Structure formats: C-alpha cells, structure tokens
Amino acid sequence: MATSEGLEALSGLRGALERSSTAERVADALRERIIDGALAPGARLSEEALGQALGVSRNTLREAFRLLGHERLLVHRFNRGVFVAEPELADVVDLYRVRRALELDAVRRADRAPQGAVARVGAAVEEGEAAAGRGDWWGVGTANMRFHQALAALADSPRTDEVVRRLLAELRLVFHAMAAPRDFHVPYVALNRRIHRLLEEGRLEEAAQELSDYFDVAERQLVEAFSEGAQG
C-alpha cells in the first residue's frame, strides 16, 4: 500500500491511542490523591460516596480498588471496605530490603544498560537540583523517586521497573506517616549527582557502594523519623 512508508514513525503513538478502561483511569486518579497525601493513610474509601463523587458505578470503582490493592496502596478488609494503607515499621524495613537487592543489581550491570538510560538518571538529578533551588521540597521528593526509578531502569527489565515503581509509590505513603517529611529528601540531591557521575565514568562498583551507603543512612533515618511520627 502507498502509505506503508514511514509507518513506523507512528509507533510512538500507540500508547496514546490505547484507550484505557474507566477503572484504570479511576485508579490513576486515586493513586495520585494517595501519593500526594490528599487521601491520608488509614482513610476509609466508601464505595457509594466515592462512586458518586467520581461519577462511576460501584462495580467499576471496585475494579479500581482491586488494581490499587495489588499495588499495596489500598488494603481491602473483607466486608469492611478499603482503606489507604498504613505502612508500619516492618514495611519500611522490607521496602528497603527489596530496593537494595534490585537497585544495586541494576547499578552493577549498568554497562549493559540500554541507550540513554544513564542520561535519564542525569535528568532526574537535574530535576532534583532545580526543585531544591526553588525550595520545592515536594518536587525534590518527586525527583528523587524518579532518580531511583531511573536507576532501576538500568537493569533493562520491565519486571524490575514495575516492582520498583510499586515499591517507590508505597514509600511515599511512608513519608506521609512519618514526622517531618519536609527536609528528608533535600540532603540526597548531592549524593544523587555523585552517583550519576560515577555511572557516567563507568565506575559501577563505586556507584553501587555509594548507593548502598545511601540505603543504610536513609533507612535508619526513616525508621527513626517514623518511630517518632507514628503513635508508638
């Protein structure tokens, strides 16, 4: 056919064309509200009220709940409803355990990373620096998440990407549950820059070591802040 040439140029539009279900869009909206704190940990989500507010039926809303439940952002208590998850201390430790395994592995094999993957790490670093310059602490947190997502992407593994994305979303819940999340992220901007530089220079083992130290420090800090912030 005459139009066959240049067809591959349209392949980028595939994602945009894929219609998504109502349930998925509802899940996206809810995820946003949960992550930015509009829906606080522990809050109960009434099927009737929320469905009416969002203009969707209860069945559709329940599908969305299921999606977010599998991301551990919501917990589903049988016959009792769904609630925004309330991470505990054990969850913080567990999140870091898995992140350690996956992100460190990704960094160590960064030499086999796909084209442009390291550059995306750098972009996240700059985003963080810019936000820090503006004094936008929430923006710094977002950039930080993107930084670690980019680190995970070095593994060139869709499943790693997905798992890490879930872990990081859950981690944002932890920030809401702890005391003084405001200045948690800012100190790490410089470290991110250092890690990125090491990656660019191919000094992977050193980068992994820096990252490992970061995990130690951040986890300890988080555990402490969390113990203070939570009741108990």
Partner DNA sequence: GATCGGTGAATTGTTCAACAATCCCCATGA
Partner DNA sequence: TCATGGGGATTGTTGAACAATTCACCGATC
Structure tokens at 143: 């950039």
Compute the least distance from the CB of residue 162 to DNA, in Å: 21
Cβ-based nearer residue to its own copies, 36 or 162: 162
Number of helices and strands in the chain (H, E): 10, 3
Please tell me whether residue 114 adopts helix, strand or coil conformation.
coil
State the DSSP code for 72.
T
Sheet holding 74-77, edge to edge: 44-45, 81-84, 74-77
Compute the least distance from the CB of residue 66 to DNA, in Å: 10
- Contacted entry of its own copies, DNA, none for residue 88, CB cut-off 5 to 8 Å set by kind: none
Radius of gyration in angstroms for the set of CA atoms belonging to the chain, rounded to a whole number: 20
Compute the least distance from the CB of residue 91 to its own copies, in Å: 9
The correct pick among 32, 38, 49, 59 for binding its own copies (CB under 8 A) is 59
The correct pick among 4, 6, 13, 159 for binding its own copies (CB under 8 A) is 159
Please tell me whether residue 45 adopts helix, strand or coil conformation.
strand
CB-CB contact of 110 with 199 (8 Å): yes
Structure tokens at 216: 């130690």
The region that residue 156 occupies, defined by phi over 0 for left and psi between -120 and 50 for alpha, beta otherwise, is left
* Binding status of residue 62 toward DNA by CB under 7 A: yes
- Contacted entry of DNA, its own copies, none for residue 94, CB cut-off 5 to 8 Å set by kind: its own copies
Residues in 68-127 at the binding interface with its own copies, rule: CB under 8 A: 70, 78-79, 94-95, 97-98, 100-102, 105-106
String of contacts with DNA for each residue 12-41, x by CB under 7 A: -------x-xxx------------------
Compute the least distance from the CB of residue 155 to its own copies, in Å: 6
- Residues in a beta bridge with 77: 81
Tell me, rounded to whole angstroms, the distance of Cα 219 from its chain centroid: 16
Residues in 12-41 at the binding interface with its own copies, rule: CB under 8 A: 18-21
Q: How many residues does the chain have?
A: 232
Per CB under 7 A, residues contacting DNA are 1, 19, 21-23, 44-48, 55-60, 62, 76, 78-82
Per CB under 8 A, residues contacting its own copies are 18-21, 59, 62-63, 66-67, 70, 78-79, 94-95, 97-98, 100-102, 105-106, 155-160, 163, 167
